[in-house]
Amino acid sequence: MANDPRVEELNKNFGIPEALKFEGEPGGLIRAVISTPEAEGTVYLQGAHVTEWTPAGQKPVLFMSSKSLFTPGKAIRGGVPVIFPWFGGREGGKPGPAHGFARSMEWQVESTATGSNGVTVVLVLEPNDATRALGFDSFGLRFRVTFGAALTMDLQTHNESSGDFIFEEALHTYLSIADIHQASVTGLEGTTFIDKTDGFKKKAQGNEPVTVAKETDQVHLNTGAECVVHDSVWGRTIIVDKSGSNSTVVWNPWVEKTKGMSDMGPEEWRVMICVETANASDNAVRLAPGASHTLRAMIRVE
């Protein structure tokens, strides 16, 4: 909404002249739009969801579905969904949305700033009635994103309870590529992965890069390695460096699964690959009372 008073307030408190402004959409979502000589970027308050990062002189690095919803309470398709506190379906058939609640809730702006690495936006999510109803009442989440020549995203989790807190998380990054048939991912050689397309069997990656020639949905375990997406058509490499992460998920829905997704164009599986910086399954994080954990993804293009 053009005249949403929340947008005016956000611009008054957190807008940065010539670099960052908040905008309201007709559907009710609010986003921060970053525009500097180094990069263009967008982050939605819903989900702390980055939907654009375009460093100067490049095509957009993040894939966004042309059919994505931008509707309060519904997940956005593309960009970088923030997955927390469970990855995929919730364990033991307990209630709750796929990939957790963080991606479909509105976060609060804590601060904005400009610095030598770009424009930084910090968003926070605290427990609310909906998270409490799902049994989560003692966590603090802070998402810090810097848009510059690199895109840096930190997801910090704080355990505010008196017991251990076990959770899964991911920066579910959709990368834009020219042609999935002519792309590969290096960095995961020699790892073991859970193949979610084949009954969650554990398999060995071997020494070859990951290539995609069918529906691919694999959780590579016990890997802190940087991954590199090689796009031979556009002649660019996208480097996904990380810390605080022991899992990397590679996902492409391919033809049939895409047909069943109302928020994805029928041919769009050809031009995207997800390389997700995660802690999932065997790599779930266990946090002691009062402790914090930071999951970080740093993306750059060469």
Among 49, 172, 220, 242, interactor with ligand BG6 by CB under 6 A: 172
Span between the terminal Cα atoms of the chain, in Å = 38
Q: Single out the catalytic residue among 49, 168, 276, 293.
A: 276
Among 90, 99, 220, 242, binds ligand BG6 (CB under 6 A): 99
- Nearest to ligand BG6 of 159, 248 (CB atom): 248
* Nearest CB to ligand BG6, comparing residues 70 and 234: 70
Which is nearest to 85 in space by CA: 97, 102, 70?
Answer: 102
Residues in binding contact with ligand BG6, number by CB under 6 A = 10
Q: Which two tokens stand for residue 276?
A: 């997700």
Residues 232, 181 contacting (CB under 8 angstroms): no
251 binds ligand BG6 (CB under 6 A): yes
Query: Contact 153/145 with Cβ under 8 angstroms?
Result: yes
Report the SS3 class of residue 5. helix
Q: For residues 291 and 164, is the Cβ–Cβ distance under 8 A?
A: no
Beta partners for residue 141, in sequence order = 125, 157
Instruction: State the nearest-atom distance from the C-beta of 168 to ligand BG6, in Å.
Output: 11
The least CB distance from residue 100 to ligand BG6, in Å, is 10
Binding flags for ligand BG6, 113-142, as an x/- string (CB under 6 A): ------------------------------
Contacts by residues 27-33 (CB-CB < 8 Å, ≥ 24 positions apart): 27/70, 27/71, 27/72, 28/1, 28/71, 28/72, 29/70, 29/71, 29/72, 30/4, 30/6, 30/106, 32/109, 32/112, 32/121
Residue among 20 and 75 whose Cβ is closer to ligand BG6 = 75
Q: Rule CB under 6 A: is residue 168 a binding residue for ligand BG6?
A: no
Active site (annotated) includes residue 99: no
Q: Is 40 noted as a catalytic residue in this protein?
A: no
Among 52, 154, 169, 217, binds ligand BG6 (CB under 6 A): 217
Site mask for ligand BG6 (CB under 6 A), range 49-78, x = bound = --------------------------x---
Asked whether the beta carbons of 96 and 84 are under 8 A apart, the reply is no
Binding site for ligand BG6 (CB under 6 A): 75, 88, 98-99, 172, 196, 217, 249, 251, 276
